[in-house]
Copies of this chain bind each other. A is one copy, B any other.
Amino acid sequence: MTRSVTEAAVAARVAAVDLAQRTRADKDRALRAMADALEKRSAELVAANDADVRRAVEADTDPGIVDRLTLTEERIAKIAEALRSITALPDPVGEVVRGSTLANGLELRQVRVPFGVIGIVYEARPNVTVDAAGLCLKSGNAVLLRGSSSAKESNTALVNVLREALADNGFPADAVQLVLGDTHDSVTELLRARGLVDVVIPRGGASLIRSVVQNAIVPVIETGVGNCHVYVDADADPELAIELLIDSKTQRPSVCNAAETLLVHKDIADVFVPRALDALRAAGVTVHGDARIAAYAADPADVVPAQQADFEDEYLSLDIAAAVVDSLDEAIAHIRRYSTSHTELIITRSQAAAREFTARVDAAAVIVNASTRFTDGGEFGFGAEIGISTQKLHARGPMGLPELTSTKYIVIGDGQTRAKNANT
């Protein structure tokens, strides 16, 4: 295909009109067919992926990134299984969000409807291609997938398989389209396709998201930058605090809901900080501490002096910034200053402190006494997620199927006019 983004978007709009009217049974059948096709053709997919992997290795790409790029038959089976699991989720389309009968007898219903056309801009992982296609299909949306050029062969092969499965099952193939382009021009075109694309969701690092937000004139849902804090309150159980800190930081350090900064109330610092430093060292974590944290280090080399940037940026690695604060107020002020409003955790036995922290900290998820790693669509029970919104408009936090829909009001009357039957 050598379609321009605009041509692809026009074709997607046509497909979207069809998709919006499909029943759940129809869509679930297509999802199962897509999963089956991926498994059946996994040798072909692995071969296409090999080309991307070889290119990445030749370009001296970080082994972690090469690993995430790699498809194997087992991984394809998992991707297919994830598609099948979407069939178990309720169809958001048609859900009545609210409804009432007005004083003049008008029957009012607010009903979920698909957005129409969703653009996803994402980085190397090919599983996102299939996940996003599945979630958009189930929510009745056509999708324009703009993956990175480093996964070009893999994404092309995956999308071809999905499109054939759709066409074989009476769905428009253009419900799922890959948007290619070696430069950033195709992204820009996508971000400016107002009237054709209803929303663009960037999935990736901070710089990708910043660039999308700056350039878009279509609506955007920002996702996934998480400068998450763990605040250990004066009234924390030190044992529990260590356990939650280690899980939040190390259970999977490269993801957006991993902890990046530790704040410790001064009244518990003597008890907690030495043990925390030991536990973090044992877990392979480098601590970037302020002077008050450094004062607790058995060996001065155990704490790297923290700079401003340590508190500002995500590490996404086995590093953590750390500071002692004089009060809950100071902790909240620190979080307000540096937070990306993703996930913020307080560890405390105090009901008053928990209440104040949850009320005053403004983030997608505010957690009391549990790991930051729980901010996740799967963990929240939403099934698969398309990303974690860190903006306040439309969706905030893990986005499941309902977040991929808009609504419309359906109003049924029997001749009401404002002249005769106004409610106001």
Binding site for B on A (CB under 8 A): 17, 20-21, 100, 102-103, 106, 108, 110, 113, 115-116, 194, 198-199, 213-214, 217, 219-221, 240, 243-244, 247, 251-252, 336, 354, 358-360, 362-371, 373-376, 378-381, 391-394, 396-397, 406-420, 422-424
Are B416 and A371 closer than 8 Å at their CB atoms?
A: yes
Are B380 and A199 closer than 8 Å at their CB atoms?
A: no
Nearest CB in chain B to that of A373: its residue: B418
Which residues of B are found within 8 Å of A365, using beta-carbon distances? Answer: 408-411
Chain A interface mostly: mixed
Which residues of B are found within 8 Å of A422, using beta-carbon distances? Answer: 379
User: Pick the contact of A371 from B407, B412, B418 — CB < 8 Å?
Assistant: B418
Which residues of B are found within 8 Å of A213, using beta-carbon distances? Answer: 194, 217
| Given A359-B21, A418-B374, A423-B378, CB of A396 within 8 Å of CB of B407 | yes
Which residues of B are found within 8 Å of A396, using beta-carbon distances? Answer: 406-409
Nearest CB in chain B to that of A194: its residue: B213
Are B199 and A374 closer than 8 Å at their CB atoms?
A: no
Are A393 and B394 closer than 8 Å at their CB atoms?
A: yes
Are B417 and A370 closer than 8 Å at their CB atoms?
A: yes
Are A411 and B243 closer than 8 Å at their CB atoms?
A: no
| Given A371-B417, A381-B423, A413-B370, CB of A363 within 8 Å of CB of B243 | no
Are B368 and A411 closer than 8 Å at their CB atoms?
A: yes
Nearest CB in chain B to that of A416: its residue: B370
Are B393 and A409 closer than 8 Å at their CB atoms?
A: no
A and B contact pairs by CB, cutoff 8 A, 8 listed: A116-B392, A214-B217, A240-B415, A251-B417, A358-B410, A366-B409, A376-B424, A379-B418
